[in-house]
């Protein structure tokens, strides 16, 4: 049997509250992520769902080693990700990219779109000729639904939905296998968010991607996820196939999340 693409075992992270002028009491010692284990198989979409403070964003960042866990293990296809250094770490990192929530904050306003999307190539494939790099950037821009003339323009010239497409293009330009999407549509209008969800679906097929989707919204998750893990207070309280979690939630917290969603009347 193949090792999972990504496996986490008993990950823990506690942020210490620095005692400053505004520190009230001893707030340190509450773990943000408290012993999370999960497996991500190639080709699936695992959604981590939770409310604010549940630890879902900290977990996602630890899975990419953007934050180092206090303890636990992290394996990429059976290899120890936490022990990886230097060129080995760089090689693993280019397989995993992130799409961020806010397309206004996550793009450098002073860089042209061509540079924003091409930058990961400059870092990971420095020997690539200019023309070849440009061709790769144009190709990925087309894949996310943007025309070549976007290259020379700046982020502010684009709408929120187009900016999110630029962010996705930057994440895909290295042809990663895993994409972590942190609230990819929650800053967008409904009509535009649906475009991005549809795009993510199509890209998963065309680029053979594995997704880890971080979201507070079960309706959004329902559109993409094959599996769902529900987080509360730093722990996964329920995990299972998406249809099972959405239709027959077992944990009282999952049940309360589903019951709180305002439903539309049937047409």
Partner 1 sequence: MCVPVVRNPSYDVAMAPLIELRGLTVEIPTPAGWIRPVDDVSFVLETGESLGLVGESGSGKSMLALALMGLLPPGAKVRGEAWFSGANASSASRVNLLALGEREKIAVRGRDIAMIFQEPMTALNPVMRVGAQIAEAIRAHEPGISREEIHRRVLAALERAAVPEPAVRARQYPHQLSGGLRQRAMIAMALAGNDESAPRENGAGGKPRLLIADEPTTALDVTVQKQILELLAQLRRDLGLALLFITHDLGVVAQVADRIAVSYAGRIVETGPSREVLARPRHPYTAGLLRASPQLVRHKLEPIPGAVPALTALPPGCAFEPRCALRVPECAAAMPELRDAGPGHTARCILV
Beta strand pairing call for 79-80 and 71-76 = antiparallel
Stretch that binds partner 1, among 3-11, 101-109, 124-132, 153-161 (CB under 8 A): 153-161
| Cβ 130 to partner 1 shortest distance, Å | 32
Site size for partner 1, by CB under 8 A?
37
122 binds partner 1 (CB under 8 A): no
Stretch that binds partner 1, among 55-63, 80-88, 125-133, 250-258 (CB under 8 A): 250-258
* Cβ nearer to partner 1, comparing 15 with 75: 15
Measured between alpha carbons, how far is residue 139 from residues 114, 121, 145, 148, 151 in Å? 11, 13, 10, 9, 11
What is the DSSP code string of 178-213? EEEEESTTTTS-HHHHHHHHHHHHHHHHHHT-EEEE
* Cβ nearer to partner 1, comparing 87 with 191: 191
Q: Which of 9, 12, 216, 235 binds partner 1 (CB under 8 A)?
A: 216
Distant-in-sequence, close-in-space partners of 255: CB < 8 Å, separation ≥ 6: 249
Pair 199, 165: CB distance under 8 Å: yes
Stretch that binds partner 1, among 107-115, 166-174, 176-184, 216-224 (CB under 8 A): 216-224
What is the DSSP code string of 137-154? HHHHHHHTT--GGGTTS-
Site residues, partner 1 (CB under 8 A): 24, 51-52, 159-162, 189-195, 197-198, 216-220, 222-223, 242, 246, 256-267
């Amino acid at each position: 049997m193949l090792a999972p693409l990504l496996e986490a075992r008993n990950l823990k992270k506690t942020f210490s509250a620095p005692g400053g002028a505004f520190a009230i009491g001893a707030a340190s010692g509450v773990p943000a992520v408290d012993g999370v284990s999960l497996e991500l198989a190639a080709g699936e979409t695992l959604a981590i769902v939770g409310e604010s403070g549940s630890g879902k964003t900290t977990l996602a960042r630890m899975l990419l080693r953007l934050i180092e866990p206090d303890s636990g293990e992290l394996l990429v296809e059976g290899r120890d990700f936490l022990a990886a250094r230097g060129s080995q770490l760089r090689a693993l990192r280019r397989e995993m990219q992130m799409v961020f929530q806010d397309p206004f904050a996550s793009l450098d306003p002073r860089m042209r779109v061509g540079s924003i999307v091409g930058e990961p190539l400059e870092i990971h494939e420095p020997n690539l000729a200019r023309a070849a790099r440009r061709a790769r950037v144009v190709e990925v821009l087309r894949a996310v639904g943007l025309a070549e003339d976007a290259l020379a323009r700046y982020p502010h010239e684009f709408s929120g939905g187009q900016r999110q497409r630029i962010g996705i293009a930057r994440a895909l330009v290295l042809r990663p296998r895993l994409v972590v999407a942190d609230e990819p549509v929650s800053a967008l209008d409904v009509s535009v968010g649906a475009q991005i969800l549809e795009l993510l679906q199509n890209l998963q097929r065309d680029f053979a991607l594995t997704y880890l989707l971080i979201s507070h919204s079960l309706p959004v998750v329902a559109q993409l996820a094959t599996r769902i893990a529900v987080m509360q207070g730093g722990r996964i309280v329920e995990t299972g196939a998406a249809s099972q979690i959405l239709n027959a939630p077992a944990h009282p917290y999952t049940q309360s999340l589903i019951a709180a969603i305002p439903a539309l009347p049937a047409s």
